[in-house]
C-alpha cells in the first residue's frame, strides 16, 4: 500500500474514531446538557466548552480530543434533523448502529459509511492499528469515504479533515473562525444562522446608514472554509445588548458591489465589523480584532455605542441656549448609561442630550428641579419651559427600556412642535425677540434659576406699570445685547429679562424683603440666584435710568443684599 495512502487512512480513521466511538460517547453528556435541552442551552454549553478546550487556549493533554468531541456533539445536536435521527437511532443520518445501548450496537465499533455505491471500504481488525483498537472484541471496523470512487483521493483533502474537526483555520492572535448552527454547503462552509439577518445594499442604505442604530455585521463569503464557533458568541452579545444594537451578515460573494463600496476585501476567514456612530454624526465601520470571547466582544460593542450625550456637573454646568429641545438624565451611574447612549444616537437630530450623576433625590439641586425619585428625565422645550418627563424609572431590560423612553421622547417632541407653532403664531403680530416673558412657576428655573448669573425682573401691580416696564426692558435688552431671550439657560455673562405680576406673586418680593415693596407700583429687581442676593431700583423708570442701573450691576457698582429666603413662584 502506498505510504501516503496508509497515512491518510490512519489519520482519518484516528480522527473519526475519536469523534464517533459510540459505545463510550453520549453527545448530551459531552456538552453537559439534558436530553430535553433547548437549542439555546446547547448553544451556550458548546460556547463555554469550546472556549475552554480550544487548542489555542488549552495546551493540556487530551484537550484537542475533547475539543473534537465538543465540535462533533454540537454539529449534530444543533441541527434539528440530525438531532432527531440521533435521538431515535443513535445516528445523525437515521441509520442504526451509532450509539451504545441502541439497536445496531456493533460491540464497540461503528460501521461508518460515507457514500453510495462504488465507494471504497476499508476494514481493520482490533490491534491492526494501535489507534483503531477496541476493547479486545473480534468485530471489525468498516468505513468508507465520500467521493466519486477515486481510490487515491478518497473524495476529500487532508485539510478538510482538520477543518471539520477544529472548526476551520486558526487565526493569528488566538482567534478562531466559525459560526455553527447554520446550513452546510457543498464546499464544507456554513452560512450564518437564520437569527442573523442577511444584509444587502438596499437594507444597508435604508436601515443602517444614518439611522442612529449600532449594527454588528458578520462579513463572509460562501467559499469561506469556516463559519462555526463564533456565532454563539455573537448571538449571546446580541441578546445581552438587544435594543442597543442589531445584527446582520453580508455575503461578499453575493454582495460584491456593497463590499467594494464599504472597502471590505473578502477573506478566507470571516470577519466582524461594527457600524458605529460613536465618533461623529456620520457612522463608520470598525473591524473587531479582539479575542473571540463574549466579554471581549461585548466590551467592544459597548465602547462603540453612540455618545452624543454630554456628561455634566449639575452644580457647575452652564447650559447654553439651544434651538432644539433639551433632555437630561439624572442617575447615580458613574458613566453615561447604555440606554441613554442608545437614545442619543436615535434622537441626536431631534434633541440636545445631557446626563449628570447625582447621589440621591434629596440633593437640593435635584429637588429644585422638581425631581422626587431617581433615575429621572427632565426636559426643556425650545421655548425654555421645563418639564419633568419621568422619575423613578424602572428598567426591566434594555430593549423594553429603550422602547419606553423612545415613546416618552416622541411625546415630548410633539409637545415641543406644538409650543413652537404657538410661538410662531405670536411672532406674526409681534416679533418674539421683542417679547419679555412673565415669570411663572413653570419657567422660573429656566429664566431665573441658579444657572443664570443675573436676572433683571420688572415687578408691576397695574396694567399701566406693566406696559411701562415692558417697553423699557424691550428697548434696553436689545440695546445692551446681553439678553438671551427665552433660553432655558444663559451663558456666564448673560442677563435674563422678565416681568413679575406682584399682585399674583406677592411671596416672591417678600422673600427678598419683609415689606415686599408694597408701597411701589413698579419696581426693578436685579437678582443673583447662585448667591441668593438682590438689588432693587424704584426710581424714575425710563430707558436711560434703567440702562444705567443694569450697567452698574454688571460693573459691580451696586450693593447687593442677602435675600430673606429663596424666592419661589406658584
Q: Which three cell numbers stand for residue 36?
A: 430535553
- Distance between CA atoms of 451 and 356, rounded to whole angstroms? 15
Q: What is the DSSP string of 148-206?
A: SS-TTTTTS-HHHHHHHHHTSPBPGGG-B---TTSPBPTTS-BPPPTTSEE--HHHIII
- The answer regarding whether domain 172-303 maps to CATH 3.40.50.2300 reads no
pLDDT digits (tens, 9 = 90+) for 505-537: 999 999 998 888 988 999 999 999 989 999 999
pLDDT digits (tens, 9 = 90+) for 274-299: 999 876 667 889 999 888 788 999 99
Task: Report CA torsion sign: 320, 324, 330, 335.
Answer: negative
> What CATH topology corresponds to 319-426?
Glutaredoxin (3.40.30)
- Distance between CA atoms of 127 and 122, rounded to whole angstroms? 15
pLDDT digits (tens, 9 = 90+) for 140-171: 333 333 333 333 333 333 333 333 322 333 33
Does this chain's domain 3-166 share its CATH topology with 434-562?
Answer: no
pLDDT digits (tens, 9 = 90+) for 378-394: 998 887 788 999 999 98
Q: Which CATH superfamily is domain 434-562 in?
A: Glutaredoxin (3.40.30.10)
DSSP 33: -
Question: Would you state the pLDDT for residue 111?
Answer: 35
Model confidence at 301: pLDDT above 50: yes
Domain ranges of the chain: 3-166, 172-303, 319-426, 434-562
pLDDT digits (tens, 9 = 90+) for 428-480: 444 444 578 999 888 888 888 887 889 999 999 999 999 999 989 988 887 64
- The pTM (predicted TM-score) of the whole model is 0.49
Question: Would you state the pLDDT for residue 369?
Answer: 85
pLDDT digits (tens, 9 = 90+) for 34-56: 988 988 888 888 888 888 888 77
> What CATH topology corresponds to 3-166?
Helix Hairpins (1.10.287)
14-18, 172-176, 249-253: lowest mean pLDDT where?
A: 172-176
Amino acid at each position: 500500500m502506498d505510504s501516503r495512502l496508509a497515512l491518510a487512512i490512519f489519520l482519518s480513521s484516528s480522527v473519526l474514531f475519536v469523534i464517533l466511538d459510540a459505545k463510550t460517547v453520549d453527545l448530551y453528556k459531552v456538552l453537559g446538557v439534558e436530553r430535553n435541552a433547548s437549542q439555546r442551552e446547547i448553544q451556550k454549553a458548546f460556547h463555554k466548552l469550546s472556549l475552554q478546550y480550544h487548542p489555542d487556549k488549552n495546551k493540556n493533554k487530551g484537550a484537542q480530543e475533547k475539543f473534537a468531541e465538543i465540535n462533533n456533539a454540537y454539529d449534530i445536536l444543533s441541527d434539528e434533523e440530525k438531532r432527531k435521527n440521533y435521538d431515535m437511532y443513535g445516528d445523525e443520518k437515521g441509520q442504526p448502529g451509532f450509539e451504545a445501548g441502541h439497536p445496531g450496537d456493533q460491540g464497540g465499533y461503528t460501521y461508518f459509511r460515507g457514500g453510495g455505491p462504488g465507494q471504497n471500504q476499508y476494514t481493520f481488525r482490533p490491534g491492526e492499528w494501535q489507534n483503531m483498537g477496541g476493547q479486545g472484541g473480534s468485530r471489525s471496523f468498516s468505513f468508507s469515504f465520500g467521493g466519486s470512487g477515486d481510490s487515491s483521493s478518497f473524495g476529500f483533502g487532508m485539510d478538510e479533515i482538520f477543518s471539520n474537526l477544529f472548526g476551520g483555520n486558526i487565526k493569528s492572535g488566538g482567534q478562531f473562525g466559525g459560526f455553527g448552527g447554520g446550513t452546510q454547503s457543498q464546499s464544507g462552509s456554513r452560512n450564518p444562522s437564520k437569527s442573523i439577518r442577511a444584509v444587502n445594499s438596499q437594507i444597508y442604505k435604508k436601515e443602517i446608514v444614518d439611522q442612529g442604530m449600532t449594527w454588528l455585521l458578520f462579513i463572509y463569503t460562501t467559499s469561506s472554509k469556516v463559519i462555526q464557533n463564533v456565532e454563539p458568541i455573537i448571538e449571546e452579545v446580541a441578546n445581552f445588548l438587544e435594543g442597543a444594537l442589531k445584527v446582520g451578515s453580508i455575503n461578499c460573494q453575493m454582495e460584491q458591489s456593497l463590499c467594494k463600496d464599504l472597502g471590505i476585501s473578502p477573506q478566507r476567514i470571516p470577519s466582524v465589523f461594527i457600524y458605529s456612530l460613536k465618533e461623529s454624526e456620520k457612522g463608520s465601520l470598525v473591524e473587531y480584532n479582539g479575542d473571540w470571547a463574549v466579554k471581549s466582544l461585548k466590551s467592544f460593542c459597548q465602547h462603540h455605542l453612540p455618545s452624543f450625550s454630554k456628561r455634566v456637573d449639575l452644580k457647575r454646568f452652564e447650559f447654553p441656549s439651544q434651538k432644539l429641545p433639551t433632555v437630561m438624565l439624572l442617575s447615580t451611574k458613574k458613566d453615561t448609561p447604555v440606554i441613554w447612549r442608545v437614545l442619543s444616537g436615535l434622537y441626536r437630530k431631534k434633541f440636545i442630550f445631557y446626563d449628570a450623576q447625582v447621589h440621591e433625590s434629596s440633593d437640593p439641586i435635584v429637588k429644585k428641579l422638581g425631581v422626587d425619585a431617581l433615575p429621572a428625565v427632565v426636559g426643556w422645550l425650545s421655548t425654555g419651559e421645563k418639564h419633568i418627563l419621568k422619575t423613578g424609572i424602572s428598567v426591566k431590560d434594555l430593549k423594553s427600556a429603550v422602547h419606553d423612553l423612545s415613546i416618552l421622547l416622541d411625546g415630548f417632541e410633539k409637545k415641543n412642535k406644538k409650543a413652537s407653532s404657538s410661538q410662531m403664531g405670536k411672532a406674526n403680530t409681534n416679533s418674539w425677540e421683542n417679547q419679555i416673558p412673565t415669570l411663572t412657576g413653570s419657567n422660573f428655573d429656566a429664566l431665573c434659576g441658579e444657572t443664570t448669573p443675573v436676572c433683571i425682573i420688572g415687578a408691576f401691580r397695574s396694567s399701566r406699570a406693566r406696559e411701562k416696564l415692558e417697553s423699557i426692558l424691550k428697548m434696553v435688552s436689545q440695546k445692551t445685547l446681553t439678553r438671551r431671550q427665552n433660553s432655558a439657560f444663559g451663558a456666564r455673562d448673560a442677563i435674563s429679562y422678565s416681568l413679575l405680576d406682584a399682585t399674583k406673586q406677592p411671596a416672591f418680593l417678600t422673600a427678598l424683603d419683609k415689606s415686599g415693596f408694597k408701597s411701589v407700583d413698579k419696581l426693578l429687581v436685579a437678582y443673583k440666584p447662585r448667591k441668593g442676593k438682590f438689588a432693587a431700583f424704584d426710581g424714575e423708570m425710563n430707558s436711560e435710568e434703567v440702562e444705567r442701573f443694569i450697567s452698574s450691576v454688571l460693573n459691580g457698582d451696586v450693593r447687593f443684599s442677602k435675600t430673606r429666603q429663596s424666592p419661589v413662584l406658584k
